[in-house]
Amino acid sequence: MAHGQTASGIVAGRLTADEIATNFSDLHPAHAPHEASVAADRCYFCYDAPCVTACPTEIDIPLFLRQIQSGQPESAARTIFDQNILGGMCARVCPTETLCQEACVRETAEGKPVEIGRLQRYATDALMATGQHPYVRAAPTGKTVVVVGAGPAGLACAHRLAVLGHEVVVHEAKSKSGGLNEFGIAAYKATNDFARLEVEWLLEIGGITIQNNSAFGSDIGLSDLQNQYDAVFFSIGLGGVNSLHAEGVDLNGVHHAVDFIEGVRQSDDLNELPIGRDVVVIGGGMTAVDAAVKAKLLGAQNVTIAYRRGQDAMGASRFEQDLATSRGVRIMSLVQPISVLGEGASDEIELGYTRSENGKLVATGETVRVSADQVFMAIGQTLDGAPPELTIEAGKIAVTGAGRTSMSGIWAGGDCASGGDDLTVTAVAEGRDAAMDIHEILIG
């Protein structure tokens, strides 16, 4: 071990290679077959099941659980993929505690919902392990649709269009596809390069051409797309980040959380990644929690999430918060950053206490200083690079119905579009629904 946990500054090698490997292992390991059938058997096969309604992609959950229980995880997987082609990733990353599992009647009955997420993983893993792609394409329609951005929304849209017989061209700015599945989602949720493998598996449908390193805006313009293709779907996510308006944010050691997270996801050797001893994360959403947990797992000694409102207002679910605290992250609520202090590099951060007055946040005037050789800003992602011709509403591309933008022939979905929850699963639902709408317009 090059440095211990106590070494100050931002250094690599705080933990042994074994510790790092353990820390970044699978968060929710898959069920063994017997475990899966017992877990699936707990489903009551509810009438008009509330879990289905709670799933943004409306997977027929009782049906797929029954298919697992009766010994056919592969048909269970088909039930899942019919609604959600990224069911494998969703099984790993969905905050099920606020979606399907929250609605499970066994949550009401005994506080122990059916483990829908893990069972979904069991089923989708089983089918994907066969190496076969479960769909075939309809006869060619002669239409070609362009998708901008190969994240969950774009991939779901492209796959559904391909199944329906359309040709799809995808422009993706980055060298790798998958969007935040590849660059954002916590490493311990999608181990063993799952994001890449899932994209490869999805593309086996055929008819989808992804052009990587091809950014809309710099490489191509809206009129090019409109001229060349029969329909356009924007799924560019939220590429920009909010910056903190506080003194000292330009000091070394202050970063955007998404950059740090991307660095962790793309790292070939986590043992080489430097991390601070005292890390402070500003924010209260999933990104804040992910950054904080990752910092801890890399060996930071003290990790603090500083959130300006009360803990119950945090964007991260209770489960995610508990995950963070169980890893040793401290959550401070009702504090906001005033300034980052240090000589050239961050050393500590001054936080001001807040309280809520008639729903408005006011500073109490009291302050506290927390050691911080590294500060991560996780105060929100913003829309970046959307075509100016489209109507923007509350920072997102305005859409109605199944993703129709203000311009005909142009659809949008996922994080970049208005509405939705900024979750992988909602991005998938929106991509799929836009594809159906595009299909109807093109063929109908």
Q: Find how far residue 228's CA is from the centre of its chain.
A: 31
Residues across the chain: 444
Q: CB-wise, 373 or 422, nearer to ligand FAD?
A: 422
Q: CB-wise, 36 or 416, nearer to another protein?
A: 36
Q: Which does 148 bind (CB under 5 to 8 A by kind): another protein, ligand FAD, none?
A: ligand FAD
Phi, then psi, of 280 in degrees rounded to 5:
-120, 130
Applying CB under 8 A, among 18, 47, 136, 312 the residue interacting with another protein is 47
Q: Is the dihedral of CA 416, 152, 326, 296 positive or negative?
A: negative
Q: Which does 286 bind (CB under 5 to 8 A by kind): another protein, ligand FAD, none?
A: ligand FAD
Q: CB-wise, 184 or 253, nearer to ligand FAD?
A: 184
Residues of this chain, 98-127, that bind another protein according to CB under 8 A: 105-106, 108-109
Question: What tokens appear for 165 in the block?
Answer: 């017989």
Residues that bind ligand FAD (CB under 6 A): 93-95, 148-154, 171-174, 179-180, 184-185, 189, 215-217, 235-237, 239, 258, 261, 286-287, 290, 385, 414-416, 422-425, 427
Least CB distance to another protein at residue 101 (A): 14
Task: Convert residues 26-45 into a mask of x (bound to another protein by CB under 8 A) and - (unbound).
Answer: --------x---x--xx-xx
Q: Which does 45 bind (CB under 5 to 8 A by kind): ligand FAD, another protein, none?
A: another protein
Q: Which residue pairs from 215-219 have beta carbons closer than 8 angstroms and sit at least 24 positions apart in sequence?
A: 215/171, 215/173, 215/385, 216/148, 216/149, 216/171, 216/173, 216/385, 216/387, 217/385, 217/387, 219/171
Least CB distance to ligand FAD at residue 438 (A): 16
Q: Does 63 bind another protein (CB under 8 A)?
A: no
Using alpha carbons, select from 43, 61, 388 the residue that is nearest to residue 234. 388
CA distances from 135 to 59, 81, 155, 157 (A): 17, 9, 15, 15
Q: Which does 350 bind (CB under 5 to 8 A by kind): another protein, ligand FAD, none?
A: none
CB 374 within 8 A of CB 291: no
Gap between the Cα atoms of 121 and 26, Å rounded: 12
Question: What tokens appear for 112 in the block?
Answer: 């122990």
Q: Which does 414 bind (CB under 5 to 8 A by kind): another protein, ligand FAD, none?
A: ligand FAD
Q: Which does 199 bind (CB under 5 to 8 A by kind): another protein, ligand FAD, none?
A: none
CB 68 within 8 A of CB 123: yes
Binding site for another protein (CB under 8 A): 34, 38, 41-42, 44-50, 105-106, 108-109
